[in-house]
Amino acid sequence: MFKLPSNVTFESLKMELMQIPQTELLRMAVALALVAIAAYFYYNKKPKGSLNPEKFIDFKLVKKTPISHNTAKFKFALPKPTSVLGLPVGQHIICRGIDSQGEEVIRPYTPVTLDSHVGYFELVVKMYPKGRMSHHFREMREGDYLPVKGPKGRLIYKPGQARAFGMLAGGSGITPMFQLTRAILENPKDKTNVHLIYANVTLEDILLKEELDAFARKFPNQFKVYYVLNQPPFAWNGGVGFVSKGIIQSHCPAPASDIQILRCGPPAMNKAMKAHLDALGYQSEMQFEF
């Protein structure tokens, strides 16, 4: 509780205030009001997120855009046109659906949009023939609702936390890498360099290739992408087969205290990449697996 100094009484304070001209008192009152208004807008200017980490919230599918024979982009509306998802960069969401047997299934997904995208969020989903959550997304129609909760995850990115990132992605494991890359490149103050190695089976399997290539053209000194295909087309100048130690050495930053190597892909790939990184001298604190 606020207390007046012992040598000041309410009567003496009242007398002091009465001696101040009314015009001066009015100016003081206006100034205090402006300070209060400015403080209010400062602390409330950032929209609150639309997620709840403990409770599933339904989001309406407003657009489903096929990208390939087994991949689509799903656009979900947020509660208001001015709403943001409220997902920190590096985090993911948990989605709930129903599989082909009518059983409930939950899976993690990383949106490819950021909180700079207002009023909606988007997921790029590869739907595998036997995937349980894949079945749910395959059956979704515009107007349907997807239960989502979050944020979840162990990584919250802060600009400048690393001089450079090396990224090892396989298949749909590109989405957390894309989220982070987009956040870095769309922030003019963030000078972090990004080196992405992205592995797939065929050229048609590469997700977000158009967007990644656009990043590489727009930010040639900050972003590099190297594609590796197990079954490449006849005319192909990228990597062939699997991601090797040699490919990592050639396309990722060398081990150092101010770099991080991120990996996200199928379990077998993640295991192989960890073995390669360990052998190349990347210490555990330099590595992170989504």
109 labelled binding-site residue: yes
Query: Which of 157, 198, 251, 264 is flagged as catalytic?
Result: 264
Task: Determine whether the annotation assigns residue 273 to a binding site.
Answer: no
Please confirm, yes or no, whether 109 is among the known catalytic residues. Answer: yes
Distance CA 34, CA 156 (A): 35
Tokens of 253: 């930053």
Does 108 belong to an annotated binding site? Answer: yes
Pairing mode of beta strands 223-229, 239-240: parallel
Q: Is 145 annotated as a binding residue?
A: no
Q: How far is the C-alpha of 167 from the C-alpha of 247, rounded, in Å?
A: 12
Identity of the residue numbered 261? I
Residue 192 designated active-site: no
Sign of torsion, CA 116 121 123 124? negative
| Active-site residue flag, 95 | no
Tell me: is residue 154 an annotated ligand-binding position. no
Q: Among residues 71, 95, 110, 135, which one is catalytic?
A: 110
Residue 160: count of CB within 10 angstroms of its CB: 11
Catalytic residue from among 71, 109, 157, 276: 109
Residue 110 appears among annotated catalytic residues: yes
Q: Catalytic: which of 71, 92, 157, 195? A: 92
Q: Is 227 annotated as a binding residue?
A: no
Tell which residue, 147, 183, 135, 136, has the closest CA to residue 55: 147
Is 126 annotated among the ligand-binding residues? yes
With DSSP H G I counted as helix, E B as strand and the rest as coil, what are the percentages for the chain, rounded to 5?
A: 30, 30, 40
So which residues are the catalytic ones? 92, 109-110, 264
From the annotation, which residues make up the binding site? Answer: 107-109, 124, 126, 133-134, 175
From the annotation, which residues make up the binding site for FAD? Answer: 107-109, 124, 126, 133-134, 175
